[in-house]
Structure 1
Amino acid sequence: MVGSPRGRRDHWLVGSSATDSLSDTSRLLRLLRVQESQVRVFANQTAAWKAATQVMRTPDDGIPRSRFRPPIHVSIWS
């Protein structure tokens, strides 16, 4: 799920399992009464996570830059 700086929860970014009415994701969306227009389905969780990361890095759509910490990759050479 991705929220906006104004505190609204605009879009839910989910993997394809959300299309299965018996999945945990689908049940959660129903429980929270999330409208279908607010759900974006991706091929898998990895694709949904990547899209969410991109949205969070965009200051107009995601969380403020001051609150977001991008991933850090460290390589160790012997």
Structure 2
Amino acid sequence: MPDRTLTDADAEAVADHMTAKLIERLSDEKTVERIASAWGGYIDRSLGKGLRRLGLYVLLALLLLGGIKFELLSKLIK
């Protein structure tokens, strides 16, 4: 099979065609829903982990402050 070479015009035509197809796909409602669903799930999972950790840190800080305020820590150490 002989080697085929692409001219600049051929490369431009391929690039224009691929760009048009990409825009067409990204404009499709189902594709947009799938992308938003995937990214939305990822962001929800990331935020969920972060918020759970933040809640745990706040709870631990409140318990520690409560222990200090009511002198419970000094009673536990003795």
Q: TM-score scaled to structure 2, two decimals?
A: 0.24
Task: Return the index of the structure with the highest Cα Rg.
Answer: 2
Higher relative contact order (CA 8 A, sep 6+): 1
The structure in which a higher percent of residues are strand is: 1
The structure in which a higher percent of residues are helix is: 2
